[in-house]
Amino acid sequence: MCLAIPGQVATITDEGGLRMAEVAYGPVRNRVCLAYLPEAKVGDFVIVHAGFAISILDEAEAAERLAAWREYVEEARRAGMEIPEADTVLQALETPERPKKHVTDDDHHERR
């Protein structure tokens, strides 16, 4: 199931001509394919579905969606609903650190 939680692109690599990224959801990191978003760059917030980044959000929209998720999880808990993944979701909603770009030879190739 896709929860449409915004994640932040932490790193981008080229793997045999395929752009791949590590996307951070707070301290949780997932490897995703950037084939559908060739314009994505480190620091962008993205929505990922089935291992593919499918849309880029600006920082304000990402913050708005993250706040809505926090509110949803907190309200569900107050209502006594059990959400087995709630702690994982809340951890993923932590404000991510600004990733620093690690420049590699592959990065220089990508920009040509």
Residue 101 resides in a domain: no
Domain span at 43: 7-96
Q: What pLDDT is attached to residue 33?
A: 97
Tell me whether residue 110 is in a domain: no
Give CA separation, 30 vs 18, 26, 108, in Å: 16, 11, 23
The reply to whether 82 falls in a domain is yes
Q: Do residues 103 and 12 make contact, with C-beta atoms less than 8 angstroms apart? A: no
Predicted confidence (pLDDT) per residue in 56-108, tens digit: 999 999 889 888 888 888 898 899 988 776 666 676 666 555 444 444 444 44
In CATH, what number is assigned to the domain containing residue 30?
Answer: 2.30.30.140
pTM of the model: 0.72
Q: Is residue 102 part of a domain?
A: no
What per-residue confidence (pLDDT) applies to 101? Answer: 42
User: Would you say residue 109 lies in a domain?
Assistant: no
SS3 label, residue 93 = coil
Total number of domains in the chain:
1
Which stretches of the chain are assigned E, i.e. beta strand? 7-15, 18-25, 28-33, 45-49, 52-57
Q: Is residue 104 part of a domain?
A: no
Domain for residue 22, yes or no? Answer: yes
In a domain, residue 1? The reply is no
